[in-house]
Amino acid sequence: MGITYTKRGDYYYPDLALPSQPTGDIGRFGRMRKKYLKEHQPDTFALMLMENSLTQHLIDIDRQANEQIDLVTVQLAQAEGVTEDLKTRDQLGWIQAMNSCRARAEEQVIRELILS
């Protein structure tokens, strides 16, 4: 595979093209992971950037984080007895309990997935 050149005026310029970037939403947790890599693991960040694997990694991290948060939230809610019955009896109590479960699930996932 050789490099081709295009003449523009008196100069020859190489015909270079960037590889295609994966499409998808990086999301909240992907942005958190990017910030962590940039600040705490700059070598890994630079290597992934040069290998063109950073964007896909961030998309995967965001997807995994959201899936794990949903799973852990359901598990915590079941363990604490937050049921549909509670929702019909005490909506505000149910909302409070679910928000608590979700917040703890996010903390756990951030600690295990984003900051590792």
Predicted pLDDT of residue 7:
93
Is pLDDT of 1 > 70? no
Model confidence, pTM: 0.79
Domain ranges in the chain are: 26-114
pLDDT tens sequence across 37-95 = 999 999 999 999 999 999 999 999 999 999 999 999 999 999 999 999 999 999 999 99
- What are the residues whose beta carbons fall under 8 Å from the beta carbon of 90, sequence distance 6 or more? none
- What are the residues whose beta carbons fall under 8 Å from the beta carbon of 4, sequence distance 6 or more? 14, 15
